[in-house]
């Protein structure tokens, strides 16, 4: 739960509604630029067929889809974690499905809100690992 200092600092901006214009004019453009930079790097560096990025809609995360991923997203998570990159395996976001759906094991959620240099380094590691995985499993 949040402490009281943050909400107390934000209260005047909520009361006078300036938080709305700050969100639209400062926060949203800042993170939109970050998202577009991450998308550009991902598209340049991940060369596997069927790679897609779900449409970014304003969160601080990108959803990456690796169609026909030769391993599960959990295994990808473990491999990336060994290289110092943390992502969230997508299967956690599909609870309660009546049937197995391969898509649930082909997606990861990636945060792009850290320092630009860290995001760029993380994307390079993700790309190298994913490209290698597909190369290892080529028939």
Cβ-contact 62, 52 below 8 angstroms: no
SS3 125: helix
Report which of 17, 25, 38 is spatially closest to residue 114, judged by C-alpha positions. Answer: 38
Pick from 98, 102, 42, 52: nearest CA to 72? 102
Q: What is the residue whose two structure tokens read 């990108």?
A: 62
pLDDT digits (tens, 9 = 90+) for 111-139: 999 999 999 999 999 999 999 999 999 85
Contact 50/67 with Cβ under 8 angstroms?
yes
Burial track 19-32 (b if 16+ CB lie within 10 A, e otherwise): eeeeeeeeeeeebe
User: What would the pLDDT profile of 89-110 be if each residue is shown by its tens digit?
Assistant: 998 888 888 888 888 899 999 9
Alpha carbons within 13 angstroms on the beta-carbon side of residue 48 total 27
Residue 100 is predicted with a pLDDT of 87
What's the pLDDT tens digit per position in 62-71? 999 999 999 9
For 2-52, the pLDDT digits (tens) are: 678 988 898 999 999 999 999 999 999 999 999 999 999 999 999 999 899
């Amino acid at each position: 739960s949040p402490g009281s200092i943050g909400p107390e600092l934000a209260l005047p901006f909520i009361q006078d509604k300036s938080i709305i214009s700050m969100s639209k004019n400062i926060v949203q453009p800042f993170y939109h630029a970050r998202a577009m930079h991450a998308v550009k790097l991902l598209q340049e560096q991940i060369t596997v067929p069927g790679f897609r990025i779900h449409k970014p809609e304003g969160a601080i995360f990108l959803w990456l889809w690796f169609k026909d991923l030769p391993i599960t997203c959990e295994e990808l998570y473990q491999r990336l974690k060994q290289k110092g990159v943390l992502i969230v395996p997508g299967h956690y976001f599909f609870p309660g499905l009546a049937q197995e759906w391969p898509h649930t094991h082909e997606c990861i959620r990636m945060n792009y809100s850290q320092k630009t240099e860290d995001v760029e380094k993380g994307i390079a590691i993700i790309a190298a690992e994913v490209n290698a995985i597909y190369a290892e499993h080529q028939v």
